[in-house]
Amino acid sequence: MTSYHAPIPEMMFVLKELADLDGVSGLPGNEEATPDLIAAVLDEAAKVAQEVLAPLNQVGDQQGSRLVEDRVTTPDGWQDAYRTFIEGGWNSLAFAEQYGGQNLPWLIATAVQEMWHAANMSFGLCPMLTQGAVEALILHGSPELKDRFLPKMVSGEWTGTMNLTEPQAGSDLSAVRMKAMPEGDHYRLFGQKIFITYGDHDLTENIIHMVLARLPDAPEGTRGMSLFLVPKVLVDEHGGLSQRNDVRCVSLEHKLGIHASPTCVLAYGDNEGAVGYLIGEENRGLMYMFTMMNLARHAVGVEGLAIAERAYQQARSYARERVQGRPIGVGAGDRASICHHPDVQRMLMAMRANIDAMRALVYLWASALDKANKHPDREERERHSQLVEVLTPVVKGWCTETGNEIASLGIQVHGGMGYIEETGAAQHFRDARITTIYEGTTGIQANDLVGRKVLRDQGNAARALIAWMRATDVGDVAGLGRAVASSLTHLSDATDWLLDGGGKNPRLAASASDDYLRLWGVVTAGWLLAKSASAAERSLTDGDGDVEFLNGKIASARYFGTHVLPHSAALLRAITEGAEASLALHPELV
How confident is the model over 7-59, as pLDDT tens digits? Answer: 999 999 999 999 999 999 999 999 889 989 999 999 999 999 999 999 999 99
pLDDT 10s digits, 499-543: 997 667 899 999 999 999 999 999 999 999 999 999 999 999 999
Q: Indicate whether 63 pLDDT > 80.
A: yes
In 3D space, the residue among 495, 496, 492 whose CA is nearest the CA of residue 527 turns out to be 492
Mean local confidence (pLDDT), 328-353 = 91
In 3D space, the residue among 285, 286, 269, 271 whose CA is nearest the CA of residue 188 turns out to be 269
Mean local confidence (pLDDT), 288-305 = 92
The whole-number pLDDT of residue 239 equals: 86
Q: Which residues contact 5 (CB under 8 A, 6 or more apart)?
A: 46, 50, 313
The whole-number pLDDT of residue 174 equals: 81
* CB-based contact 525:361 (threshold 8 Å): yes
The whole-number pLDDT of residue 237 equals: 83
Mean local confidence (pLDDT), 370-391 = 97
Mean local confidence (pLDDT), 397-416 = 98
Active-site residues, by number, are 439
Q: How far is it, in rounded angstroms, from Cα 398 to Cα 199? A: 28
CA atoms within 13 A on the CB side of 18: 31
Domains 8-155 and 159-283 in one fold:
no
pLDDT 10s digits, 116-161: 999 999 999 999 999 999 999 999 999 999 999 999 999 999 999 9
**Helix, strand, or coil here: 402?**
helix
CA distances from 265 to 198, 202, 250, 477 (A): 10, 16, 6, 53
Q: Given pLDDT bands bounded at 50, 70 and 90, which one contains residue 77?
A: very high
Q: Give percent of the chain above pLDDT 70.
A: 99
- 175 vs 494, which has greater pLDDT? 494
The whole-number pLDDT of residue 456 equals: 92
pLDDT 10s digits, 40-54: 999 999 999 999 999
User: Please, what is the Cα angle at 371 between 111 and 38, to 5 degrees?
Assistant: 35
pLDDT 10s digits, 162-220: 999 999 987 888 888 999 999 999 999 999 999 999 999 999 999 999 999 999 999 99
pLDDT 10s digits, 351-375: 999 999 999 999 999 999 999 999 9
pLDDT 10s digits, 238-284: 889 999 999 999 999 999 999 999 999 999 999 999 999 999 999 99
Tell me the pTM.
0.96
8-155 topology per CATH? Butyryl-Coa Dehydrogenase, subunit A; domain 1 (1.10.540)
Domain boundaries, the chain: 8-155, 159-283, 442-590
User: Please, what is the Cα angle at 309 between 290 and 344, to 5 degrees?
Assistant: 135
The whole-number pLDDT of residue 313 equals: 98
The whole-number pLDDT of residue 1 equals: 63
159-283 — its CATH code?
2.40.110.20
**Helix, strand, or coil here: 359?**
helix
Averaged confidence pLDDT in the chain: 95
Query: Strand 207-213 relative to strand 241-244: parallel, antiparallel, unpaired?
Result: unpaired
The whole-number pLDDT of residue 2 equals: 72
The whole-number pLDDT of residue 198 equals: 98
Q: Given pLDDT bands bounded at 50, 70 and 90, which one contains residue 65?
A: very high
Of 204-218, 290-304, 324-338, the poorest mean pLDDT is in 324-338
pLDDT 10s digits, 563-590: 999 999 999 999 999 999 999 999 999 9
